[in-house]
Structure 1
Amino acid sequence: MPWKHADMVRWLHPQHLIRSGMDALVASIFGVRADHRLIVAVGRPQPPYFDYSDEAAGEDFWLDYVADTGDGWNSTYAVARLLAKPSLELKDPNGDTHALERGRILVFGGDQVYPGASRDTYEERLAQPYREAMSRSPDPSPHLFAIPGNHDWYDGLAAFMRLFCADRWFAGRRTRQSRSYFALKLPRGWWLVGTDVQLNSDIDVPQLEYFRQTATYMQPGDRIILCNAEPAWIHAATTPHPRGYMENNLEYLQEKVFGRRISLFLAGDLHHYKRHEDAEGRQKITAGGGGAFMHPTHAPRALRLRDGCEQKKCFPDEKTSRELTRQNLMLIRHSPFFGLLTGALYLILALSAYTELGSHGLLNIHEALRQLAASLVNRPMSLVVGAATLGGLVGFADPAFGRWRVPMGLVHGLAHIACAFLVAWGAMYFTVSTLGICAEPPSPKLAAFIIPGANACAGGWTHMWAKFLLGTFLTFAGGFLVGPFVMGLYLTVSLNNFGAHSNEAFISLAIPDWKNFLRLRIDPEGQLTVYPVGLERVPRKWKATHADRYSPAYDPDDPQATDPILIEPPVRVMPREQAP
């Protein structure tokens, strides 16, 4: 049976939260103690480089780069379909039209699948949409190379190695690498190097030796396109003490092995488009728009990098990014199952401090607060639950807050506790005073209800159970609705005012739009030009083309979808005469 087209990953679904946490924990433990790259380096030989230098003699040489791919089918297929087309004619913001040819090589830049790597997940979220975009290609078939990101490492790299490092075919493209890193010798003195930084921005020793060997084949005037899974330049610029990024093997690789030969840095991991440029024309491009949920562009903010590179373009722009952040105020709409967690939290808080408030309205708020205070004093467990809530949300607060981290975590926690009190109070008032359940004077013949603090009522045990069950249900329902709003408000304020929680604020929204990939051209004179392709709104509806296996299986059937464009005019990488 055919696979069902996958929806975007709902990261705040309790199931995904638990699974992602376990995957990250297991990967961090075994990634350090059982590094798969060390085993592969011994058992899988690989040439120091794959040679494409003699191709396209006298003609343009094209290659494609895409990162952060396999999420929802709509977004992943929309990008795969554009990559599969033999050519594209796109307009840039100046109104000029450019003809772009499909790349002879396609490079996957990391995090090929979400939420975590497995054989079935790769098949459903990556292989299927790419096969439906192009299951076969005419000779000469494009070649495919890939580097892993942290999500590819969640199964120890097993599924990645099987799919990309076994000399097999993938969606009409042939894979050639046998390790998770590689080097390509391109025409006219250009090289492309793909690294595997595992989970800790770390280059293992065999990989360093491999690239040292590759460097011996480079001529003095050669230049390099370096592909990393993470934009270390942005992390370094936005981290107060970036020792983890500035003093590791990746830095050593850039400074000591390849040096000033590197003219173009490419990375994914952040799911948007950002380009930084230095005075010499050296480019650092983050292009993680292959299908994964969108990340904001206004945070983390890195207008100027530590090496002097300045931000020249982002997609979407920062104003749009801020507006999209406000969608968190309707978090329940984007992540409805998250309400299960807040509903359970509010119910636990209410039960731990249970007291009779059903007969008190807003005019008696002072009495309601007095009874709540008495209940907290008499029940130490309520204090433990409250302290645990505050501690957990302080720990959840983003380190990007700096000195505001603890205050923001406390405010967030107190907001949930206050809302839990109001929701439970409202639930009991509605049950007792509005519906009249257990509103009669208590009978002296009835013992107190099983929960301390609850009064018996004239209706007997039946009414007491009805009051308890209905109050419990309404409290949970109120937490289901109110809790996500409080969380969404916290995320909106955090990101738009403090630049914090950039990841959490957008995994909650799972926005499939604002996708991008790069098409690169090396002209006969050796000039490298980057064409950043953008897709503002991906189609949600499709129609079958009934075409052959060399063509996309579906075309857009959504009038609200936008056509692909060039995000900015073509970007010329450091001219050859300026290269070291």
Structure 2
Amino acid sequence: MSESSRDTAQGAGWGPAEPGVYRQLMPDHVEKLSWLNPRILWAARNGVLASWFGDPTGRTRSRWVARRVAAGTAADKVVRRDVPERFSFMVIGDTGEGDASQYAVVPGFLKAGADTEFAVIASDVIYPVGATDDYGTKFFRPYQDYPAPIYAIPGNHDWYEDLGAFMRVFCGEATSALDAESRPRPLSRAWWRTLLWHRPRPADEELLAAARELRGAPGQQALQPGPYWALDAGPVRIIGIDTGLLGTIDAEQGAWLREASRGPKPKILVTGSPLYVDGEHHPCAIEGGGTVDEIVRDPDHHYVAAIGGDIHNYQRYPVDVDGRTVQYVVAGGGGAFMHATHTIPVVSVGGVTERDFRCYPLRGDSLAFYSRLYGHRLRLRRFFTLTEAEATAVVAERLGTEPGRAPGPDARVTRRTRLVATLLGAGGRPDRTSRVRLPVRKIYTRLFSPGSATYSPPFFKCFLRLDVSPEAVRLRCLAATGNRAQELDPPVEDEVVIPLG
């Protein structure tokens, strides 16, 4: 087994290394995604409109589901797969940027997933707006050599064109558009939303047909009953829920989730929005009352894990729920730009402490990565850039804990390293050397990190492999850095065995 980031800096991807072969898999021309582009910002406006004028996704989702049932899909929305008693499957989240950060994951994913029964994409299959024409280079091409079926749950970006492309690719819909609804009352909130709403663009049918051929083998085919579903495989039931544009679920889906969660079979939830993330609890509201996490915590439902996408890194929170442990996992590091982990404060949530919490990349690696980004963008490399050892040491000091990897005997924490850590929002106790915080979390990553000069190895991407037996599920987080060593033997960054008893 290769070294991980918890072992050495080289295991994290730092230092001289042989580049991976992922660039050979990419198209000749890749359009880098930039959220500074007004055209992209305007196309992706539906999330903002939904928060201002009301979220229509529950009603739209209900119409899509009704259409699938009318077409003959099972009303219970359960897929039943005949698998061996012991089998494995993959989970990968927030994949579809279509650039180097996505393709860098592919070689290791194919190697680790070669003998698995299926894969699940958890959130944001396609950026920026889930368009049909983007599926060729952002789904079919990168995973053309994965031999098994791929199921998916949509993220908010897949909803920016009313989920039409997702429904065509994963659910067998013939069209990307629903029939128009009745016009709302003039000048009402719904009227303004309808007036400004981004609608699906016409699809290039020849382009889509050619893309489908890339995953045209019989063993690669899967048809799911809708944007939310349950999958019975061996001793477990995997339940995927669609949290739409704003991270909630509608009453109809909530009622289905309660019904699908009944029974003694152990269950794993896959959701577009994680329930524990960045040291906070987000239980996910259900329209009409209740939360998704209340369903997960109910002992009669026998959930053992809840895996969410949306945030582009890996986190794990082993939460004690009335004497049993439920593993809450963030797994959104499958291809989009990296969300920082060094901004996560000392963890104390749901009974989980810093001792139990796991993340990838390590906070020190995250801080070193972002120090390079800011050094490049602000043309202040000598001031901002921290070595991985310096970043590891200063993060450990701020958190007051042992670092995930020893920083090395020559790592010194100086006034400059403390100031840079403070400016970049490193977690822990605030540093009084500065009250200024540069935007690092979603604002910075949305605006600047895509296409920056440091968007080259190490990428700090990841994916999950879950090995299922009648007794337990072994969950492993495997890394993809873009370096050849990690492609040939993806390092294990975290591992936990989840009993099914």
Q: TM-score, normalised by structure 1?
A: 0.57
CA distance in 2, matches of 1:12, 1:212: 41
The reply on whether 1:529 has 2:474 as its aligned counterpart is: yes
- Which range moves more in the overlay, 116-125 or 147-156? 116-125
Aligned-pair CA distance for 1:183: 0.4
Q: Which amino acid aligns with 1:187?
A: G
Secondary structure in structure 2 of the residue aligned to 1:155: coil
The reply on whether 1:108 has 2:121 as its aligned counterpart is: yes
Secondary structure in structure 1 of the residue aligned to 2:464: strand
Maintained 8 Å contact 2:258/2:295: no
CA distance in 2, matches of 1:529, 1:289: 19
CA distance in 2, matches of 1:518, 1:111: 16
In structure 2, the CA distance between the partners of 1:564 and 1:26, relative to structure 1 (3 Å rule), is farther
The correspondence for 1:121, drawn from 119, 129, 134, is 134
Match of 1:145 in 2: 151
The reply on whether 1:514 has 2:460 as its aligned counterpart is: yes
CA distance in 1, matches of 2:346, 2:158: 27
CA distance in 2, matches of 1:491, 1:125: 35
CA distance in 2, matches of 1:211, 1:271: 26
CA distance in 1, matches of 2:59, 2:486: 43
Larger Rg, first or second structure (1 or 2):
1
The reply on whether 1:63 has 2:104 as its aligned counterpart is: no
Match of 1:288 in 2: 332
Match of 2:360 in 1: 315
Secondary structure in structure 2 of the residue aligned to 1:201: coil
In structure 2, the CA distance between the partners of 1:126 and 1:332, relative to structure 1 (3 Å rule), is farther
CA distance in 1, matches of 2:443, 2:107: 29
Match of 1:208 in 2: 254
Match of 1:274 in 2: 315
Secondary structure in structure 2 of the residue aligned to 1:152: helix
Maintained 8 Å contact 1:266/1:287: yes
Count of residue pairs the alignment pairs up: 368
Maintained 8 Å contact 1:83/1:102: no
In structure 2, the CA distance between the partners of 1:16 and 1:42, relative to structure 1 (3 Å rule), is closer
Match of 1:156 in 2: 162
Specify which structure has the higher proportion of helix.
1
Match of 1:233 in 2: 276
CA distance in 2, matches of 1:84, 1:286: 21
CA distance in 2, matches of 1:44, 1:248: 22
Question: Per-residue displacement from partner, 1:53-79 (whole Å, max 9, x unpaired)?
Answer: x5214xx21111001001143332332
In structure 2, the CA distance between the partners of 1:302 and 1:210, relative to structure 1 (3 Å rule), is farther
Secondary structure in structure 1 of the residue aligned to 2:333: coil
Q: TM-score, normalised by structure 2?
A: 0.65
Aligned-pair CA distance for 1:290: 1.1
Residues 441-480 of structure 1: pairs in structure 2 closer than 5 A: none
Question: Per-residue displacement from partner, 1:154-197 (whole Å, max 9, x unpaired)?
Answer: 11111111111118887352122131000011212x11100011
Secondary structure in structure 2 of the residue aligned to 1:565: coil
Q: Which amino acid aligns with 1:102?
A: D
Aligned-pair CA distance for 1:567: 3.2
CA distance in 2, matches of 1:251, 1:322: 37
- Runs (5+) with no aligned partner, structure 2: 1-25, 174-211, 381-418, 431-436
In structure 2, the CA distance between the partners of 1:534 and 1:182, relative to structure 1 (3 Å rule), is same
CA distance in 2, matches of 1:13, 1:66: 27
Maintained 8 Å contact 2:477/2:495: yes
- Which range moves more in the overlay, 156-165 or 253-262? 253-262
Question: Per-residue displacement from partner, 1:275-301 (whole Å, max 9, x unpaired)?
Answer: 111354421111111110111112243
Question: Per-residue displacement from partner, 1:119-140 (whole Å, max 9, x unpaired)?
Answer: 1223232222223x45xx4xxx
Secondary structure in structure 2 of the residue aligned to 1:125: helix
Residues 120-519 of structure 1: pairs in structure 2 closer than 5 A: 120-131=133-144, 133-134=145-146, 137=147, 142-166=148-172, 171=215, 172=217, 173-188=220-235, 190-216=236-262, 218-219=263-264, 222-234=265-277, 237-238=279-280, 245=284, 252-256=291-295, 259-260=298-299, 261-279=302-320, 280-301=324-345, 303-308=347-352, 311-326=356-371, 327-331=373-377, 493=423, 495-496=425-426, 501-507=440-446, 508-510=448-450, 511=455, 513-519=459-465
Question: Per-residue displacement from partner, 1:373-408 (whole Å, max 9, x unpaired)?
Answer: xxxxxxxxxxxxxxxxxxxxxxxxxxxxxxxxxxxx
CA distance in 2, matches of 1:273, 1:561: 17
Secondary structure in structure 2 of the residue aligned to 1:71: coil
CA distance in 1, matches of 2:289, 2:103: 32
CA distance in 2, matches of 1:180, 1:169: 23
Aligned-pair CA distance for 1:233: 1.7
Aligned-pair CA distance for 1:38: 1.2
CA distance in 1, matches of 2:58, 2:241: 19
CA distance in 2, matches of 1:248, 1:490: 43
Secondary structure in structure 2 of the residue aligned to 1:296: coil
- Runs (5+) with no aligned partner, structure 1: 89-99, 335-488, 540-558
